[in-house]
């Protein structure tokens, strides 16, 4: 579907393979735990025998550097290392880019359940949620168009959402966020940020796990189970199962959702230095009565509307269901010289099926004029296969130890979208003020081809970290990229083929000023091919995004607290902008584009970790400006000033079973321009606002905790916008969630 037409409102398919129903996920996990508890190799009998032998099972150690990365069980708001910026495992202080890590403890404290929750609470990134089930993630003035899973980019066609923003966090240990261009690891994309979701591993040699139940506003309920255990007596084969189920209504009339997640993984120690780990996951999102497009800004007479936050444009029959299945296998090996090798294969299958209603136009007050209706139904399928190899380790040169890493990534993605033509349902809504979703369901035709795309990316990279002196480290790297894409939005544009070859450089320098403080500078870039054509009909060259960053990083309390201050500049060269002039000989509605340059400049501050025993803090502030060569502000729908804070404190003494916390998410005003009923370009603005969030957790027993989370405490009213149609979508009002978690 084209970017700025009705078709941008398109969706996608479901195929029920591993369907697990409501409470069955947790029931199955508990049953598995009960069975395991009776197995002689690793359950109660073995535990008793080992107790008699006065032997205690050692905690499992993960090969390579992974033990520095894992955040589960640390209770921390930071991590020892990250690998999203480069293939080298480096601490945040050693990485010459802005990096945030959303740890397992933060997810638990703030009751984060999806990637949308992460983006809403991370320094420097924001969300423009222009519909109930689709949104655009942004950073430093540019769109984020890919997520990474265990370092492998998973690109999605954003207008054809398959539930990406509702990706469950149940199967992930942490989310690493690198801001700025990240072409070395991500390949093609925008110079915005990379969000890397890192999977949980089967690390435990003992039977451990947790079961959680929750209930909240709008009749929302959830359950989650997570079990880890050894499969053999030696503990060299370990497994982990995670199941999650959520359902509930919404603050928006008719809207309801249901989410099921299953994740299973196994680690096999083939030798003391070689681990094979593999698994699969499946998430199903069922959304009833989602909004397709937002609420109109103006009435037909040109006056501004003032809808209740519960108002909807959807219909009772509307739905948008999606599934996402992954299959993966990895082999990790550590050589005797401390070099490491990783081989991996990942397969992701996204499907979505939707039946939607779009209402357009400006309604008359009290039914004096109607809104127009456009029903649409789309079925999409995306399959992505990724193969990668990474090899790295220390080298001695000139009497000093340095690090080197090489790798190759091959990704193949096939995207297909079909549509069903509505044979009825174009009669409109006579009185939108009184509309409550009672729109007659259309008669649908059969599936017909609508849009497709085949994308292949090949990346060969190398990077080295040179220890010039004890205090000075220089990081140099490059990636050789090959990008091939064939696509066809059948009803709207001519078929296109992209075949680009780009070399992506990486350079960074880190100098230790003191034992705790470092100064750094870096240059990174990234490219994004574009199928847009200029006035001569020639395809525009790839967009090149260049990131320059310099700053200070500090590390205290043996890495338990990290702080950073950064100044950045991002140049995006060759961005295609519509001229409004049709392409000569092109399809109807295809306009010519011209290449322009856009620059983002700003600064960022962040602190995360443990200030003192029992006191965790995350606080980040970002400020920037985005302008074109004429000095005009760009990307005005994205906030250019952002504050993200959250802290928790475990009370001392007699009250030490109680942990309290809270935070504030503030953003500057955002705006855009849209055409009013009078034909004028008028400003739509959401003023600056702050959302206050609170939490409290009480340890009922050593194994059982009870938690309360309150989001948007002050019940702030705010909205995001869809500039193409002069529409808005309200954010969530105040909500309360109570949960209980039992660990064993």
Tell whether 189 and 225 lie within a shared domain: no
Instruction: Give the residues of the chain that fall short of pLDDT 70.
Output: 1-68, 158, 489-494, 587-589, 723-724
Kindly report the average pLDDT of the chain as a whole number: 89
Contact between 691 and 664 (Cβ < 8 Å): yes
Q: How many other CB atoms are found less than 10 A from the CB of residue 309?
A: 17
The total of structural domains in the chain comes to 2
Tell whether 188 and 208 lie within a shared domain: no
Residues in the chain: 744
Q: Residue 490's pLDDT is what?
A: 57
Contact between 33 and 209 (Cβ < 8 Å): yes
Whether residue 18 is contained in a domain is answered as no
* Domain extent at residue 430: 204-650
C-alpha–C-alpha distance, residues 138 and 116, integer Å? 12
Tell whether 90 and 208 lie within a shared domain: no
Token pair of 460, please?
A: 């060969």
Tell whether 574 and 614 lie within a shared domain: yes
Tell whether 461 and 561 lie within a shared domain: yes
Cα first-last separation, the chain: 49
Choose one of 195, 220, 255: the last residue of a domain: 195
Tell whether 255 and 276 lie within a shared domain: yes
Report the run of H or E that residue 105 belongs to, with start and end. Answer: helix 104-109
Whether residue 225 is contained in a domain is answered as yes
Tell whether 484 and 456 lie within a shared domain: yes
| pLDDT tens string 71-124 | 999 999 999 999 899 999 999 999 999 999 999 999 999 999 999 999 999 999
Whether residue 710 is contained in a domain is answered as no
CATH code: domain of residue 624? 2.40.170.20
Tell whether 129 and 226 lie within a shared domain: no
E strand map for 156-292 = 172-179, 193-199, 208-216, 220-230, 237-249, 256-271, 274-288
Give the HSE-up count for residue 86: Cα atoms under 13 Å, Cβ half-sphere.
32
Burial code (b: 16+ CB inside 10 Å, e: under 16) for 162-177 equals bbbbbbbbbbbbbbbb
Choose one of 632, 650, 668: the last residue of a domain: 650
Whether residue 564 is contained in a domain is answered as yes
Whether residue 121 is contained in a domain is answered as yes
Whether residue 65 is contained in a domain is answered as no
Contact between 575 and 593 (Cβ < 8 Å): no
Choose one of 650, 675, 704: the last residue of a domain: 650
Whether residue 412 is contained in a domain is answered as yes
Tell whether 544 and 403 lie within a shared domain: yes
| pLDDT tens string 30-83 | 333 333 333 333 333 333 333 344 333 333 334 334 446 899 999 999 999 998
Q: Residue 590's pLDDT is what?
A: 77
CATH code: domain of residue 154? 2.170.130.10
Tell whether 221 and 186 lie within a shared domain: no
Whether residue 427 is contained in a domain is answered as yes
Tell whether 500 and 409 lie within a shared domain: yes
Tell whether 171 and 291 lie within a shared domain: no
Burial code (b: 16+ CB inside 10 Å, e: under 16) for 436-447 equals ebebeebebeee
| pLDDT tens string 575-592 | 888 887 888 877 666 788
Q: Residue 18's pLDDT is what?
A: 36
Nearest to 555 by CA among 518, 522, 603: 518
C-alpha–C-alpha distance, residues 237 and 239, integer Å? 7
Q: Residue 52's pLDDT is what?
A: 41
| pLDDT tens string 476-519 | 999 999 999 998 765 556 677 899 999 999 999 999 999 999 99
């Amino acid at each position: 579907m084209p970017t700025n037409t009705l078709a941008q409102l398109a969706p996608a398919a479901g195929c029920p393979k591993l369907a697990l129903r409501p409470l069955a996920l947790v029931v199955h996990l508990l049953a598995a735990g009960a069975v395991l508890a009776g197995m002689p190799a690793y359950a109660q009998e073995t535990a008793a025998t080992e107790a008699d032998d006065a032997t205690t099972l050692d905690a499992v150690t993960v090969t390579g550097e992974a033990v520095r990365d894992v955040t589960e069980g640390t209770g921390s708001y930071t991590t020892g290392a990250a690998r999203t910026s480069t293939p080298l495992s480096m601490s945040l202080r050693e990485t010459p880019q802005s990096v945030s890590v959303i740890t397992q403890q933060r997810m638990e404290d703030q009751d984060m359940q999806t990637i949308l929750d992460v983006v809403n609470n991370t320094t420097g990134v924001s969300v423009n949620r222009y519909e109930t089930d689709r949104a655009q993630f942004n950073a430093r003035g540019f769109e984020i168009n890919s997520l990474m899973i265990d370092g492998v980019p998973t690109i999605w066609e954003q207008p054809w959402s398959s539930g990406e923003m509702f990706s469950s966090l149940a199967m992930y240990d942490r989310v690493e966020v690198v801001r700025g261009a990240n072409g070395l690891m991500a390949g093609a994309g925008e110079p915005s940020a990379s969000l890397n979701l890192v999977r949980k591993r089967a690390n435990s040699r003992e039977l451990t796990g947790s079961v959680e139940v929750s209930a909240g506003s709008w009749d929302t309920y959830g359950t989650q189970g997570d079990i880890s255990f050894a499969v053999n007596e030696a503990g060299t084969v370990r497994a982990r199962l995670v199941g999650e189920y959520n359902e509930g209504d919404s603050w928006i009339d008719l809207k309801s959702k249901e989410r099921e997640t299953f994740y299973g993984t196994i680690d096999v120690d083939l030798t003391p230095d070689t681990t094979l780990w593999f698994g699969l996951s499946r998430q199903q999102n069922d959304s009833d009565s989602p909004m397709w497009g937002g609420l109109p800004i103006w009435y037909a007479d040109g006056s501004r509307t003032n809808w209740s936050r519960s108002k909807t444009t959807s219909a009772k029959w509307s739905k948008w269901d999606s599934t996402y299945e992954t299959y993966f296998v990895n082999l990790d090996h550590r050589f005797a010289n401390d070099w490491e090798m990783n081989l991996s294969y990942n397969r992701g299958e996204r499907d979505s099926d939707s039946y939607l209603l779009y209402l357009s136009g400006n309604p008359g007050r009290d039914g004096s004029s109607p809104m127009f209706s456009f029903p649409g139904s789309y079925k999409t399928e995306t399959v992505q296969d990724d193969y990668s190899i990474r090899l790295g380790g220390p080298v001695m040169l000139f009497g000093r130890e340095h690090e080197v890493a090489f790798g190759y990534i091959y990704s193949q993605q096939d995207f297909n979208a079909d549509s069903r033509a509505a044979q009825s349902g174009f009669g409109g809504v006579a009185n939108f003020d009184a509309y409550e979703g009672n729109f007659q369901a259309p008669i649908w035709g059969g599936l017909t081809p609508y849009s497709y795309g085949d994308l292949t990316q090949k990346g060969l990279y190398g990077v080295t970290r040179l220890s010039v002196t004890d205090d000075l480290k220089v990081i140099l790297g490059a990636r050789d990229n090959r990008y091939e894409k064939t696509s066809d939005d059948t009803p709207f544009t001519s078929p296109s083929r992209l075949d680009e070859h780009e070399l992506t450089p990486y350079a960074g320098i880190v100098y230790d000023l003191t034992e705790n403080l470092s100064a750094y500078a870096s240059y990174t870039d990234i490219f994004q091919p574009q199928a847009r054509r200029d006035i001569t009909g020639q395809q525009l060259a790839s967009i090149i995004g260049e990131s320059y960053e310099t700053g200070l990083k500090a590390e205290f309390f043996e890495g338990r607290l990290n702080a950073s201050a950064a100044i950045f500049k991002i140049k995006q060269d060759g961005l295609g902008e519509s001229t409004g002039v049709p392409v000569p000989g092109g399809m109807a509605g295809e306009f010519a584009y011209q290449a322009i340059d856009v620059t983002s400049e700003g600064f960022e501050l962040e602190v995360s970790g443990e200030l003192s025993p029992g006191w965790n803090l995350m606080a980040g502030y970002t400020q920037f400006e985005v302008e074109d060569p004429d000095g005009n502000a760009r990307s005005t729908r994205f906030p250019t000033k952002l504050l993200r804070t959250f802290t928790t404190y475990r009370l001392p003494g007699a009250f030490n079973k109680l942990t309290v916390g809270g935070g504030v998410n503030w953003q500057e005003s955002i705006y855009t321009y849209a055409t009013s009923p009078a034909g004028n370009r008028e400003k739509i603005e959401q003023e600056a606002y702050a959302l206050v969030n609170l939490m409290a957790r009480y340890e009922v027993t050593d194994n059982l905790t009870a938690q309360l989370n309150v989001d948007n405490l002050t019940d702030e009213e705010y909205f995001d916008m869809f500039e193409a149609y002069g529409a808005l979508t309200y954010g969530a009002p105040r909500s309360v969630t109570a949960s209980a978690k039992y660990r064993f």
